[in-house]
Amino acid sequence: MSTDSAPRPADDGPGESGTGERLPMVEVIEDLLANLEAAPLLLDADDVAQARELRARLVAQVRNHLIPRLREVAAPVLVVIGGSTGAGKSTLLNSVLGEEVSPAGVLRPTTRQPVLATHPADSHYLEGHPVLDLADVVTHEQVPRGLGLLDAPDLDSVRAANRNLALELIELADLWVFVTTGSRYGDAVPWSRLREAGERGLSLAVVLNRIEPDALIEVRRDLFQRLQAQGFGALPLFVVPDVGPHQGLLEPKLVGELVAWLKILGAQSQSRAVIARTVRGAWPSLRRDVQEVAAAVEIQRRTSRSLRGQVVASVRATAEQIHADLGSGAAAIGAPSTAWLSSASSGGVLAPLVNEPAGPRQRWRAKRSTAARVESVRSLRDTAVGAAGSMVREAGTAAELSVRQMLADSAAGRQIAEQVDVDEAARAREQRVETLISEWGTEAERRGGELGLSAERVGLDDQGAASLVEVAAVGVDGAERAVGRLFGTRGETMVAEMRTMLAEWAGAAVGAETTPYLDALDELSIDDAPARSLRLRASELRGYV
């Protein structure tokens, strides 16, 4: 063991009141926890996976370590015994206590449920501590007073749940005893976790376990070089020689140096120093990480706003086109115009609408065909308005496709697209078109009644007049001329207004294709308030750095 590497008593700092009273910074850390939990990282924006992982780690660190520690500084120092698979962590804990309290063996993973060993006189200090939800607690007289020894699952366990639990336990530790072996000390996963722990100021120690005597010098030198390269040159280092295949406890002399060190740590001054060092060391990295999460939240907000703009923009051209098409009467091309020409030609049922009947005989024939004329106009209205509805429907389908194609270009966009049911969007589109046609027809009937057209003069009732106005407004040129002949400027104005209304409503209906996608974004409730709150917490933490 390095004689000058044991944690030294620290000056008074966070976590050192020694009286168990609530410390002033507790409110700041509790507010920070609330802000972290409320920080929305729901959108798959750039680098969100790393931000979510960081946020989860910070929540675990604040909830499971900092808040419990600041609320009860008299609680025992939590020493997590963690490392790689097969490093002998459980055997080491059992040997330190002189009794098997944590299962050990060749079956991997051995430690499925973490075990926390405390001295009977210290157990009451842990009441309500989050560690009780994560580990089985045993009391043992050989645990040094002031310490809690926690046997953690493997950092590189084949089971993801065990790996995650091991990391969560390290987050709540006051001190991490990293256990490794001569064959596993170079593994990448533990070193990555060691660096993260060192960055946030966690007190560390290393146990080189199961080391063969002839490899000790070389392995120890290489391990020291690795530790120094990572800034860990002053860590306590313990060596436990390899005793070959065995079951049960190690001989006391093999772990005597580690036991002695733990007893020193359990002394009040030393345990307080470990706590102070870990709590104080957490502030700089905590502040930096909180700012990083705040930046990630701001990226969420920017990404959400950008997606909103892109969703709206992606339908704009189609909405403007349908507005222009219906405003120019394009819906009348084809069947509506053909049907008009067929019915309004000389001798046709609608011919009296085009030219005033000449002579008594033609007027008599026109009067007798009133019912057929009304029916023909209504049928023509259905054809013309149906064509307009089909154009709106097709434009809506194209607009919705444009939205989905745009969203497919980014992970965040694909996430939003997945929230929208295409079939439900199609049903909503159909309902919008039906509502548009229905309400537009109702308005045409209302206005048609204002024309004062008499059946005696042209052979149309009010509803027939309204239907003729709708046919004209859709763009059937002959019908528009007929309205002008029958009703003059007033009729022409009505047709123009109804056509404008149809175009505007159609543009709005196509624009509404954005609604389910904007709603999906709204459901994420992303705004910049959480980022501002986190920035404020980070500035408050500066006072404790």
Section 183-194 average pLDDT? 83
Q: Are 77 and 175 in contact (CB under 8 A)?
A: yes
Could you tell me if residue 135 is inside a domain? yes
What percent of the chain clears pLDDT 90, i.e. is strictly above it?
A: 46
Residue 207: phi and psi, rounded to 5, are -115, 120
Residue 337: phi and psi, rounded to 5, are -65, -40
Which of 291, 197, 198 has the alpha carbon at shortest distance from 542? 291
What percent of the chain clears pLDDT 70, i.e. is strictly above it?
A: 87
In angstroms, rounded to a whole number, what is the distance separating the alpha carbons of residues 170 and 282?
13
Instruction: Mark which of 266, 291, 319 sits at the end of a domain.
Output: 266
Instruction: Mark which of 222, 242, 266 sits at the end of a domain.
Output: 266
The verdict on 395 and 330 lying in the same domain is yes
Say if residue 296's pLDDT is above 60: yes
Could you tell me if residue 1 is inside a domain? no
In angstroms, rounded to a whole number, what is the distance separating the alpha carbons of residues 92 and 97?
9
The verdict on 316 and 258 lying in the same domain is no
Could you tell me if residue 273 is inside a domain? no
In angstroms, rounded to a whole number, what is the distance separating the alpha carbons of residues 140 and 98?
10
Residue 73 structural domain: 25-36+47-104+115-266
Domain containing residue 32: CATH number: 3.40.50.300
Q: Are 81 and 93 in contact (CB under 8 A)?
A: yes
The verdict on 262 and 309 lying in the same domain is no
Say if residue 21's pLDDT is above 50: no
Residue 253: phi and psi, rounded to 5, are -65, -25
The verdict on 251 and 323 lying in the same domain is no
User: ω into residue 14 within 30 of 0, thus cis?
Assistant: no
What per-residue confidence (pLDDT) applies to 201?
78
In angstroms, rounded to a whole number, what is the distance separating the alpha carbons of residues 385 and 501?
13
For residue 455, what are the contacts with CB-CB under 8 A and spacing of at least 6?
370, 461
Report the domain count for the chain. 2
Q: Which residue has the tokens 């200090």?
A: 125
Alpha-helix runs per DSSP H in 243-369: 252-266, 268-327, 335-344, 351-354, 359-368
- Poorest-confidence range of 56-60, 108-112, 538-542? 108-112
The verdict on 96 and 181 lying in the same domain is yes
Instruction: Mark which of 251, 266, 281 sits at the end of a domain.
Output: 266
In angstroms, rounded to a whole number, what is the distance separating the alpha carbons of residues 209 and 225?
18
Say if residue 391's pLDDT is above 50: yes
The verdict on 249 and 324 lying in the same domain is no
Section 355-377 average pLDDT? 61
For residue 177, what are the contacts with CB-CB under 8 A and spacing of at least 6?
79, 80, 81, 82, 204, 205, 206, 207
Q: Are 314 and 229 in contact (CB under 8 A)?
A: no
Could you tell me if residue 53 is inside a domain? yes
Say if residue 111's pLDDT is above 50: no
The verdict on 193 and 307 lying in the same domain is no
Could you tell me if residue 295 is inside a domain? no
pLDDT tens-digit readout, 58-98 = 998 898 888 888 887 788 989 999 988 888 898 999 999 99
Could you tell me if residue 544 is inside a domain? no
Torsion angle (degrees, nearest 10) of CA 164, 168, 173, 175: 30
Could you tell me if residue 289 is inside a domain? no
The verdict on 255 and 330 lying in the same domain is no
The verdict on 256 and 366 lying in the same domain is no
Could you tell me if residue 288 is inside a domain? no
What per-residue confidence (pLDDT) applies to 267?
80
The verdict on 318 and 211 lying in the same domain is no
What per-residue confidence (pLDDT) applies to 294?
96
For residue 51, what are the contacts with CB-CB under 8 A and spacing of at least 6?
41, 292, 293, 296, 299
Say if residue 247's pLDDT is above 70: yes
Say if residue 244's pLDDT is above 80: no
What is the pTM (predicted TM-score) of this model? 0.74
pLDDT tens-digit readout, 268-284 = 767 777 777 777 778 88
The verdict on 57 and 140 lying in the same domain is yes
In angstroms, rounded to a whole number, what is the distance separating the alpha carbons of residues 25 and 282?
13
CA distances from 156 to 116, 170, 437, 471 (A): 20, 14, 64, 74
98: phi > 0 → left, psi -120 to 50 → alpha, else beta; which? left
Provide the mean pLDDT of the chain.
85
pLDDT tens-digit readout, 408-435 = 999 999 999 999 999 999 999 999 999 9
Section 200-216 average pLDDT? 86
Section 149-166 average pLDDT? 86
The verdict on 255 and 328 lying in the same domain is no
Say if residue 465's pLDDT is above 50: yes
